[in-house]
């Protein structure tokens, strides 16, 4: 394959100083809070359910955050795009059932096989070629189906935390309505500050757990290879990374006006997954929601700084994983729901507009419905099936649009 070349000189310190700003710090902070709360809680829950020790869970968190943070910084600087990487959340959920009959070492063996397969796919250039055949309305319908839940969670937050949700939304709307204010202070930053003030004033913390340990340390984990774990986990993990996760991140970057290096990103997921497997962490992917937040505001040519700051935050979080998790999990879940929902509204709107504004409307509708259904077949989630079925509808029903799309691709 021909690896995607860096389109311009790698951004340096002078570029960062010039391009960085409050808008990008705000979006990076929101993306970080989203990626470090619920996903971290899932890892801790799955790890404890699988009988892992605190040291093994700490090593998992350290590797997943630090390595993904380093790769995020590297790609954001090299391509001047906010390309964020993290561990796969659906892939983590897959492990809950695997722990019932597989050892941690056997699961790590599946991580290694997954990393190798991702590297082969990345080097072959297959992902870049495949993406050209998938109509963007179908991909963004899948993205809309996934992100729709964030919009619904924003609304549902009013049911359980009316005061907190109202103040945060008013801060967001007020920042937009005051002439010139949103140009100086990002609405999401004002929402973040307002929410923290309310939480501090009301003492609305959700846990009284004591902090057991400050620093998470990496520990080498040796793999074992079993036929059952390889068959059960490798294909679902690869599909989850490439379709359920990477396709989201690539789609939101494209819809935001960027040109992501698809093949290099796939290769980075494979190499990063191998590094993570060394220390017991699940496979790496390109993040959908975090990328969506990072491209949600600001000038396109400066958004890469948000990716860099997001990467730095993840590295620091990985080093201080236990202390940071303890602190963030003290915030009410509605705080994160409102913050993430407001940040993702522009992306959700853009996804719906592109998906249903012109061609492939029936395909987009079916893709959206299947994705929202949250169906799971053979341990493979709804986003994959939404994309597969949507493509089938595109070929069989939206035939005129499909023929035109294929003619343009040639």
Which sequence spans correspond to the domains of the chain? 13-347
- CA-to-CA distance for 201 and 331, rounded, in angstroms? 13
* Range in 152-156, 199-203, 273-277, 323-327 with the lowest mean pLDDT: 323-327
Question: The tokens of 399 are what?
Answer: 């035939």
Q: What is the mean pLDDT of residues 182-203?
A: 78
pLDDT tens column, 353-372 = 888 888 888 999 998 999 88
- CA-to-CA distance for 59 and 65, rounded, in angstroms? 10
pLDDT tens column, 218-264 = 888 888 888 877 877 787 788 778 876 788 788 889 888 898 998 89
User: pTM above the 0.75 mark?
Assistant: no
> What does the DSSP 8-state code read for residue 37?
S
Radius of gyration of the chain (CA): 21
């Amino acid at each position: 394959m021909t690896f995607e070349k860096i389109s311009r000189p790698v951004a340096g310190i002078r570029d960062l100083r010039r391009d960085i700003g409050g808008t990008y710090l705000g979006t990076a902070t929101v993306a970080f809070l989203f990626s470090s709360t619920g996903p971290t809680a899932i890892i801790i829950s799955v790890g404890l359910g699988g009988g892992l020790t605190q040291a093994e869970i700490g090593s998992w968190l350290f590797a997943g955050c630090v390595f993904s943070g380093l790769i995020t910084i590297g790609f954001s600087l090299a391509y001047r795009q906010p390309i964020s990487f993290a561990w796969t959340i659906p892939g983590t959920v897959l492990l809950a059932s695997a722990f019932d009959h597989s050892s941690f070492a056997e699961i790590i063996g599946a991580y290694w096989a997954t990393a190798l397969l991702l590297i082969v796919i990345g080097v072959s250039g297959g992902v870049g070629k495949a993406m050209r055949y998938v109509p963007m309305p179908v991909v963004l319908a899948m993205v809309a189906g996934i992100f729709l839940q964030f919009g619904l969670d924003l609304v549902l937050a009013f049911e359980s935390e009316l005061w907190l949700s109202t103040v945060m939304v008013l801060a967001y709307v007020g920042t937009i309505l005051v002439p010139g204010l949103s140009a100086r202070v990002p609405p999401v930053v004002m929402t973040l500050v307002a929410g923290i003030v309310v939480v501090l004033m009301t003492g609305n913390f959700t846990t009284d757990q004591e902090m057991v340990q400050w620093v998470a340390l990496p520990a080498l984990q040796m793999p074992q290879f079993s036929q059952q774990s390889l068959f059960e986990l490798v294909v679902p993990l690869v599909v989850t990374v490439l379709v359920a996760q990477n396709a989201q991140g690539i789609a939101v970057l494209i819809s935001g006006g960027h040109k992501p290096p698809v093949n290099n990103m796939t290769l980075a997921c494979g190499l990063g997954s191998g590094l993570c497997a060394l220390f017991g962490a699940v496979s790496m992917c390109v993040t959908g929601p975090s990328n969506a937040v990072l491209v949600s505001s600001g000038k396109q040519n400066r958004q890469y700084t948000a990716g860099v700051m997001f990467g730095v935050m993840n590295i620091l979080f990985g080093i201080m994983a236990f202390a940071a998790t303890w602190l963030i999990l003290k915030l009410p879940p509605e705080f994160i729901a409102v913050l993430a929902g407001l940040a993702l509204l522009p992306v959700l709107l853009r996804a719906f507009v592109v998906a249903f504004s012109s061609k492939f409307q029936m395909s987009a509708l079916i893709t959206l419905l299947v994705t929202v259904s949250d169906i799971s077949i053979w341990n493979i989630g709804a986003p994959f099936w939404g994309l597969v079925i949507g493509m089938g509808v595109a070929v069989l029903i939206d035939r005129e649009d499909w023929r035109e799309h294929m003619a343009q691709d040639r």
